[in-house]
């Protein structure tokens, strides 16, 4: 009996070894499945990184390219204007449509608008966009062509002869008025006073 008792005490040892080995195998398999390794290193998860040249990287404040604000963009496709002349020419013209290729965007932006009437008659405003009132200058110009006795006569203000007011100045809606005093024709044969209004919408 004294020889049998040690044998009974040694039976659990192999079972314990098998259980430990099984736990090790499970641990290795679980670690492999989760991206770990069987050398004792910790399990890590792979997180995609964004390279500096990717689209996401360009949205960072330091690398983003400035874009126009919603107030700085806009387009118009239709509109009308009116013109009344006195002085060397007495005439009234209604420009019933906006010419194709019109460009308009609120400040900071550009104006390149032309309204047309029958014949060769037109009214143009060109230059950097603005709000409120300005006098014409080298960059802000107002010009128009009207028929006088069947012949077109052109006028262009770029030296303060006209004041132009724009209101409203929205992305797809603009309008305003103008007033000109002693504006000479392009061929310098006649001078007029002019006033009128204009509008354009998207």
Is the per-residue pLDDT at 63 higher than 50? no
Task: Find out whether 104 and 200 touch, Cβ atoms under 8 Å.
Answer: yes
**pTM across the whole model:** 0.64
Closest CA to 175 of 122, 91, 106, 100: 106
Residue given tokens 């960072």 in the structure block:
60
Considering only CA atoms, give the Rg of the chain: 40
- Residues 6 or more apart whose CB falls under 8 angstroms from that of 18 comprise none
pLDDT tens-place string over residues 158-198: 999 999 999 999 999 999 999 999 999 999 999 999 999 99
Give the single-character DSSP code of 115: E
Q: How far apart, in Å, are the Cα atoms of 119 and each of 64, 88, 122, 148?
A: 49, 21, 9, 11
Is the per-residue pLDDT at 113 higher than 90? yes
Average pLDDT over residues 100-125: 95
Is the per-residue pLDDT at 132 higher than 50? yes
Closest CA to 124 of 149, 107, 99, 89: 99
Torsion sign, CA atoms 136, 139, 140, 145: positive
> Before 168, cis peptide (omega within 30)?
yes
Domain boundaries, the chain: 1-45, 72-201
Average pLDDT over residues 23-31: 40
Helix (H, G, I), strand (E, B) or coil at 134: strand
CA angle 175, 144, 127 (to 5 degrees): 55
């Amino acid at each position: 009996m004294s020889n049998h008792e040690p044998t009974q005490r040694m039976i659990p040892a192999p079972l314990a070894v098998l259980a430990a080995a099984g736990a090790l195998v499970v641990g290795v398999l679980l670690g492999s499945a989760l991206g770990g390794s069987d050398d004792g290193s910790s399990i890590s998860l792979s997180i995609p990184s964004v390279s500096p040249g990717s689209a996401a990287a360009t949205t960072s404040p330091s690398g983003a390219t400035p874009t126009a604000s919603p107030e700085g963009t806009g387009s118009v496709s239709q509109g009308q204007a009116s013109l009344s002349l006195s002085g060397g020419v007495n005439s009234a013209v209604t420009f019933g449509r906006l010419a194709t290729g019109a460009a308009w965007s609120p400040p900071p932006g550009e104006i390149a608008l032309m309204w047309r009437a029958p014949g060769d008659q037109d009214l143009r405003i060109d230059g950097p966009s603005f709000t409120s009132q300005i006098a014409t200058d080298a960059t802000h110009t107002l010009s128009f062509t009207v028929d006088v006795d069947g012949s077109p006569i052109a006028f262009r203000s770029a030296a303060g002869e006209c004041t132009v007011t724009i209101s409203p100045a929205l992305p797809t809606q603009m309008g305003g008025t103008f007033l000109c005093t002693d504006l000479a024709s392009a061929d310098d044969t006649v001078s007029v006073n002019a006033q009128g209004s204009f509008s354009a919408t998207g």
